[in-house]
A and B are shown apart, each in its own frame.
Chain A
Amino acid sequence: MNKKEFTVALAGNANVGKSVIFNQLTGGNQIIGNWPGKTVEKAEGFLEQEGIKLHIVDLPGIYSLSTYSEEEIVSREFIAKEHPDLVVNVVDASNLERNLFFTLQLIELEVPLVIALNQYDILENKGLHINEDKLSKLLDAPVVKTIAVQNKGLKDLFKVIKETLLSEEKKVPHIKYGKEVESRIEILVEKLKNKKIKLSYPYRFAAIKLLENDPLIKKEVNDPEILSTVKKLQEELKEIHGEDAETVIISERYAIASRIAESVITRRYMVKASIGDWFDKIALDKFWGYVFFILITIGIFYTVFKFGSYFSDLLSNWLEAFKPTFMQIPLSPFWDKILWDGVMEGVIAGIGIVLPYIAPFYLLLAFLEDSGYLARIAFLTDNLMHKMGLHGKAFMPLIEGFGCNVPAVLGTRIMERDRDRFLAAILVTLVPCSARTVIILGLVAAFLGPIYAFLIYVLDFILIVIVGRILNKFMKGTPSGLIMEMPRYRKPVMRIILKQTWIRLKEFVYIAFPIIIIANVVIELFALLNWLNPVANFLKPVVTNFIGLPPLAGVTLIFGALRKELTLVMLAGIYHTTNFASIMTPRQIFVYGFVTMIYIPCVATMAALKREFGWKRTTLIVVGELAGAIILGGLFNQILKLFMP
Chain B
Amino acid sequence: MFNEIMPLADVSENTKVQIVSFSGGYNFVRRLQEMGLVPGQIAKIIRNSKIGPVEVSVMGSNLAIGRGIASKILVKVVYE
By a beta-carbon cutoff of 8 Å, the part of chain A in contact with chain B is 63-64, 66, 68, 95-98, 101, 243, 246-247, 250-251, 254, 258, 280, 284-286, 375, 378-380, 382-383, 386, 391-392, 480-486
Contacts and interface: CB of A to CB of B under 8 A. Distances in A.
A383 B62 CA distance: 19
B64 A246 contact: no
B65 A98 contact: no
Interface string B35-73: 110111100000101011101000111111111110000
A286 B52 CA distance: 8
B59 A97 contact: yes
Q: Which of A95, A96, A486 has the most CB of B within 10 A?
A: A486
Contacts of B41: 251, 254
Contact of B28 (A246, A250, A258, A483): A483
A402 B63 CA distance: 26
Given A243-B39, A286-B51, A375 B30 contact: no
A339 B13 CA distance: 67
Given A250-B33, A392-B66, A481-B66, A95 B52 contact: no
Contact of B60 (A66, A95, A392): A95
A251 B63 contact: no
Nearest to B72: A481
A34 to B, nearest CB: 13
Contacts of B27: 480
Contacts of B36: 98, 101, 254
Given A251-B38, A486-B55, 13 more contacts: A68-B34, A98-B59, A246-B33, A247-B38, A247-B39, A250-B38, A254-B36, A254-B59, A382-B66, A383-B51, A481-B65, A482-B53, A483-B35
Given A243-B39, A251-B38, A483 B33 contact: no
Given A383-B51, A386-B66, A251 B40 contact: yes
Interface residues of B, number: 30
11 contacts: A63-B35, A95-B60, A98-B35, A98-B59, A250-B33, A251-B33, A251-B40, A383-B51, A383-B52, A391-B66, A481-B68
Interface of B: 27-28, 30-36, 38-41, 47, 49, 51-53, 55, 59-69
Main secondary structure of the interface of A (DSSP, over half): helix
A146 B47 CA distance: 32
A98 B69 contact: no
A486 B63 contact: yes
A258 B64 CA distance: 21
A266 to B, nearest CB: 15
Contacts of A247: 33, 38-39
Contacts of A95: 60-61
Contacts of A63: 31, 34-35
A334 to B, nearest CB: 63
Contacts of A483: 28, 31-32, 35, 63-66, 69
Q: Which of A95, A243, A375, A379 has the most CB of B within 10 A?
A: A379
Contacts of B65: 481-483
B60 A96 contact: yes
A392 B51 contact: no
Contacts of B53: 379, 382-383, 392, 482
A251 B34 CA distance: 9
Q: Which of A63, A254, A392, A482 has the most CB of B within 10 A?
A: A482
A198 B63 CA distance: 39
A358 B57 CA distance: 39
B34 A486 contact: no
A267 B46 CA distance: 23
B31 to A, nearest CB: 5
A64 B41 CA distance: 18
B64 A375 contact: yes
Contacts of A482: 53, 64-66, 69
A485 B60 contact: no
Contacts of B69: 481-483
Nearest to A382: B53
A485 B35 contact: yes
Nearest to A391: B66
Nearest to B57: A486
Contacts of A285: 49
A160 B33 CA distance: 33
Nearest to A280: B47
Q: Which of B27, B28, B52 has the most CB of A within 10 A?
A: B52
Q: Which of A101, A285, A480 has the most CB of B within 10 A?
A: A480
Contacts of A379: 52-53, 55, 64
Contacts of B63: 483-486
Q: Which of A378, A383, A391, A481 has the most CB of B within 10 A?
A: A481
A129 to B, nearest CB: 15
Given A63-B34, A250-B33, A379-B53, A486 B64 contact: yes
B30 A66 contact: yes
For the complex of A and B, the 3 pairs showing the least CB-CB separation, nearest first, are: A482-B66, A481-B66, A481-B69
B12 to A, nearest CB: 14
A375 B53 CA distance: 12
B64 A378 contact: yes
B60 A284 contact: no
Contacts of B31: 63, 68, 483
A101 B61 CA distance: 13
A459 to B, nearest CB: 26
A459 B33 CA distance: 41
Contacts of A386: 66, 68
A480 B28 contact: yes
Contacts of B51: 286, 383
Contact of B52 (A246, A380, A480): A380
B61 A485 contact: yes
Contacts of A254: 36, 38, 41, 59
Contact of B62 (A66, A68, A485): A485
Contacts of B33: 246-247, 250-251
